[in-house]
Structure 1
Amino acid sequence: MAAPLPDNEQERLAALRSYAVLDTEPELSFDDVTHLASRICGTPMAAVVLVDETRQWFKSRQGVGIEGCSREEGFCSHAILRSEPFIIEDATADARFRDNPFVNAPWGIRFYAGVPLINPQGHALGTVCVLDYTPRQLTPEQTRSLEALARQVVSLLELRRMNHEQRRLIAELRTSQERIDILQRATHDAIWDWDLKTNQLTWNPRVAELLGDDLEHASSDISWWFDRFHPGDRARVTESLERAIAQGASLWTDEYRFRLANGKWARMFSRSAILRDAEGHPRRLIGVGVDISEREELRARVELAERMSSVGTLAAGVAHEINNPLAYVMANLSYALTEVREGRAAAPGADELTQVLQEAHEGAERIRRIVRDLKTFSRPADERMEWLDLHHTIDSAATLAWNEIRHRARLVKQYQEVPPVYANEGRLGQVVLHLLVNAAHAIAEGAADQNEIRITTRVDAEGRVLIEVSDTGRGIPESIRSRVFEPFFTTQPVGEGMGLGLSISHTLMTHMGGELQFESEVGKGTVFRVVLPPPARREPTSVPPETVPPRAEVAATRRGRLLVVDDEARVLSSLERTLGRTHEVIAFDRAQAALAWMEQGQPWDLILCDVMMPEMTGMEFHEALARRMPERARDIIFITGGAFTATAREFLARVDNARLDKPFDLEALCALVEARLKEGVQKPGGSSRVHPG
């Protein structure tokens, strides 16, 4: 049964077109959403679907063999009529779908769950949906996770539209802005006068400074100027100029690469007025030449920083949305495993139940690692240096680069024991990620079993920590090796790279006190080497974090009274269930309620508190406790699904309270609680009452 059209169909279609996303190539960010949707909901199929006039088009699909279908046959055309999740548990039992060809096929669809993609203006663009061949249901947690993923898809689409609009505005403003720049800097740029009849050229003195050469070496013949154009630009610029002259234009502008006296290529912008006689014949060109290399490099760096910031914000938001439900999923699985293993749930088939729970826990752990890797790259603009587990940072980069590598080469990790390094994790991870992608692009696709990308870590004779990324690719010709780290230098075809990756990586390593080196042999491959100074040479502002004592080394102390504060009800129940076996647990879903309870004079030992909560955050809760009972403020253990705001990151860096990231390891949590109780957190005779402030 075909779904009726929405009341706002024309406005909805106009909104969809504004994102310029229909019929575009697959994108990893959208594919990550369908991967997570399929994993979280346990379905073989998932898709990001956009609904236009006549069809349902799949921007991303997991386990789906077609790129789209007609709107009349699709489930999503029904889902976009709603504001809440649209779930069909058994399509054969639903009059709207029992005659649908996708339901009646031999592999017929039985289950469908779709969450509409509602943009900020209230238009339903499509859905994030999951499908199965058998009837089923979603748990409330799975439904909520699907809604969270739908919100992230809308965020991706909004970022896409903003970038598209920004590029359009830049294109419109560029000409006028360049005119203003030329007028303001005319006396500081190279000014030239070309007589078209005699072909003679005259210059102002600025040209010597611009070109790095004496004026006597600058020929008065115009051919000298064109001879120094980059071979890849010469024909295009010559044709552009000749066309402007022939078509009666009064102005001519262009950009091109120009060889300086030292052999390097500058990025030049030329703008000139074409002067004509009374009959309209061209007589002279008077113009200026501006070296915009530094400006273009800065612009590209700003664009990269903004793009990384947008990706980082999105990654941090996704991590936070997933970590909360994942925390109680993993906690409950760990609890169930413990119950089964200790015999509390002994029953026929207990061994199989243990295996099922273990496999589910391993799947959740894989999701946790994916989220952890996203968080590594979520704050590239953060300049904070810290002690890092180098192999963890490399593994995160390798995970994100795997899609580029897997069709080209085997990935081999050859790690030696190295000490912690003092660096910025986002910056260092960005460097390693670029080197891995760069190595992959040096190898042609289709022969992964014959090629290798190897990551090696070691400590050299001087105590420096080294990361080497080697490949069996085509290698770098000796003629261009001296220019590898130059901004805008690239051997890639036009449109396939700006030539900034290695330049930026080199700059990042320099800012962190390290080096970026390389060796290459044509036909055999290249090795890029990240060199980090010995730890002894550092002046760190922080020390490596203390590790939580292993469970086996912390003896049970006494039954403590623990307050747990978290706005996620399932997290509260999982902590009550787990910690309640050995301690008294009192749970609050609002920080204000916890403070009110404490003000009644009730005793307590430790507080487990979330950081990001509505109404009163964990940060504000800590400040309130510090004002009223400063000696007890350190008794808060923070549990967080992701400090994705600058305020939260600054707060956690400033306070010395213990902290566990969601989803946390329950053994580590129990060990930390018991260790803190063993320390005697509450001094004998001390008061635990919170006084009204």
Structure 2
Amino acid sequence: MQLPPQPHNETERLQALTSSGLLNNLADEGFDRFTRLAQALFGCKISLFTLIDEQKQWFKSRQGTALKETPRDVSFCAHAIFNDDILYVPDASLDQRFADNPLVTGAPAIRLYAGIPLHSPQGFPLGTLCIIDDIPRELNALQLTSLQDLAALAETEIAIRFNQLAQQRKQLELQAADNTIKRLQSIIDTSLLATWEWNVQTGDVIFNERWAQQLGYALYELLPLHFDTWVQLVHPEDRIKAEQLLQRHFAGELEHYKLHCRMKHKDGHWVSILTQGRLVSRTEQGAPRLMAGTHQPVAENTDQ
């Protein structure tokens, strides 16, 4: 018996399978329609939607068998997922790769096997749509094309599931970021701290009234609020250090952003300020999105 191959990108393939969520709940009516159609179209005993993990072949959907899984080493589909097109075996008992396979010599006594690899949107093979019979059978070109067409529709359903899961994860991330800001704001309101929020992508900022009061202003006097509002108030010599610390924080080198700087008071003198904060969310592409923190007057400007 020939063992299934191990691809060079197996680690990435398994990560794609795990992150897809397809293994979380194997019972899925959405995929059953493909196996029901396959069984009806080809009049075969068994039709399967399989997923191949590190050790096992799981049946996401199955018709004609009570089995839910098999070892990967004996799986026909573990061979099929690394084919560019289709793995078609008219009589497995005559094929040297499978003749002594226990799924051929014993139940379910596989003879006909035809399987099409199913891929993630990123192109990683996850499993197959396959048909199986216990008698040798020849499939014509039209039948093989029809199986490929059905598999293409199944891949579309997989892509929909990936997109839905990605949207759900993004929504959870945004909710977590919003909850973080709300908790931070609650703490800040009770501690009488000056606060700021910064949308890194748009430059929009939110300062509370105490932020403005530390520099001798009423908040309305600083309108419209923008990142440039802060830049114009910071001592020119401190702006370079601020930018360097921001980039290190965005790159993950610094867990928190912490800067001692001089800011210009409304009456013209410089106020030493400690500003601290952290990035609380990123865009889908990983770019900095939203940052929040506090301002606090200090006795002197101390380098960090």
Q: TM-score, normalised by structure 2?
A: 0.58
- In the other structure, the counterpart of 2:96 is 95
The Cα of 1:76 is off from its aligned counterpart by 0.6
Shift of 1:162: 1.4
**Structure 1's 174 and 93: CA in aligned 2 closer, same or farther, altered over 3 A?**
same
Instruction: For 2:84 and 2:99, locate their aligned partners in 1 and report how far apart those are by CA, in whole Å.
Output: 24
Residue number in structure 1 paired with 2:128: 127
Q: Deviation digits for residues 355-413 of structure 1, max 9, x if unmatched?
A: xxxxxxxxxxxxxxxxxxxxxxxxxxxxxxxxxxxxxxxxxxxxxxxxxxxxxxxxxxx
Identical amino acids, percent of aligned pairs = 38
Superposed CA deviations along residues 649-673 of structure 1, whole A, max 9, x for unmatched, are xxxxxxxxxxxxxxxxxxxxxxxxx
Residue matched to 2:44? 43
Corresponding residue SS for 1:22: coil
Per the alignment, do residues 106 and 115 of structure 1 end up closer, same or farther by CA in structure 2, a change over 3 Å counting?
closer
**Is there any run of 5+ residues in structure 2 with no aligned partner, and where?**
193-304
2:151 is the alignment partner of 1:147: no
Structure 2 vs 1, CA of residues 26 and 164 (structure 1 numbering), >3 Å: closer, same or farther?
same
Q: Is the 8 A contact 1:250 1:275 kept in 2?
A: no
Task: Provide the rounded CA distance (Å) in 2 between the counterparts of 1:9 and 1:178.
Answer: 37
- The Cα shift of 1:139 comes to 2.3
Q: CA, structure 1 residues 164+101, in 2 after alignment: closer, same or farther (shift >3 Å)?
A: same
- Rounded Cα–Cα distance in structure 1 between residues aligned with 2:111 and 2:86: 17
Counterpart residue number, 1:162: 163
Write the letter of the residue equivalent to 1:67. Answer: K
Separation in 2, partners of 1:100, 1:179: 56
How many Å separate the matches in 2 of 1:100 and 1:175? 50
Q: Distance in 2 between matches of 1:107 and 1:158?
A: 31
Letter in 2 for 1:275: T
User: Counterpart in 1 of 2:29?
Assistant: 28
Report how far residue 105 of structure 1 moved: 1.1
Which string of whole-angstrom CA distances, capped at 9 and with x for unpartnered residues, describes residues 237-289 of structure 1? xxxxxxxxxxxx7666xxxxxxxxxxxxxxxxxxx877369xxxxxxxxxxxx
Secondary structure at 1:53 match in 2: coil
Give structure 1 stretches of 5+ with no counterpart: 183-248, 253-271, 278-693
Question: Aligned pair 1:86/2:1, yes or no?
Answer: no
Matching residue's letter, 1:88: V
Provide the C-alpha distance between the structure 2 equivalents of 1:131 and 1:122, rounded to a whole number of angstroms.
25
Q: Deviations over 1:510-558 (max 9, x none)?
A: xxxxxxxxxxxxxxxxxxxxxxxxxxxxxxxxxxxxxxxxxxxxxxxxx
Secondary structure of 2:96's aligned partner = coil
Q: Secondary structure at the match of 1:130?
A: strand
Q: Tell me which amino acid in the other structure corresponds to 2:22.
A: V
3-state SS in 1 of match to 2:66: coil
- Give, in angstroms, the shift of residue 19 of structure 1: 0.8
Structure 1 residues 335-354: aligned runs within 5 Å? none
Kept after mapping to 1: 8 A contact 2:26/2:59: no
Question: Residues of 2 paired with 1:45 and 1:6: CA distance?
Answer: 27
Alignment check: 8 A CA contact 2:51 2:57 kept: yes
- For the structure 1 residues 16 and 178, does the alpha-carbon distance in structure 2 shift closer, same or farther, using more than 3 Å as the test? closer
**How many residues matched?**
191
Q: How many Å apart are 1:25 and its aligned residue?
A: 3.8
Match for 2:40: what amino acid? Answer: R
The code of the aligned residue for 1:6 comes to P
Once the two structures are TM-superposed, the CA of residue 107 in structure 1 deviates from its matched residue by 4.5
Change (3 A) 1:108 1:25: closer
- Partners of 2:142 and 2:152 in 1: how far apart? 15
> What amino acid is the match of 2:31?
F
Q: CA deviation at 1:23?
A: 4.0
Matches within 5 A, 1:517-556: none
What is the root-mean-square deviation in Å for CA atoms of aligned residues?
2.5
Question: How much has 1:119 moved relative to structure 2?
Answer: 3.2
Q: Would the aligned equivalents of 1:41 and 1:138 in 2 still touch at CA under 8 Å?
A: no
Tell me the residue number matched to 2:190: 275
The code of the aligned residue for 2:39 comes to S
Task: Write 1 or 2 for the structure with the bigger share of strand.
Answer: 2
Instruction: Select the structure with the greater relative contact order (CA < 8 A; seq sep ≥ 6).
Output: 2
2:26–2:61: 8 Å Cα contact kept in structure 1? Answer: no
User: Given residue 70 of structure 1, which amino acid in structure 2 is its aligned partner?
Assistant: P
What secondary structure is seen at the aligned counterpart in 2 of 1:167?
helix
Say which structure is richer in helix: 1
Q: 1:18 Cα shift? A: 2.3
Q: What are the within-5 Å matches in structure 2 for residues 456-471 of structure 1?
A: none
In structure 2, distance between residues paired with 1:36 and 1:90: 23
After TM superposition, the runs of 4+ consecutive aligned structure 1 residues lying more than 6 A away are none
Structure 1 counterpart of 2:63, one-letter code: Q
Q: Are residues 273 and 61 of structure 1, via their aligned partners in 2, closer, same or farther at CA, if it must alter by over 3 Å?
A: same
Shift, 1:100, TM fit = 0.8
Equivalent residue, structure 2, for 1:4: 5
Question: CA 1:80–1:250 in 2, change beyond 3 Å: closer, same or farther?
Answer: closer
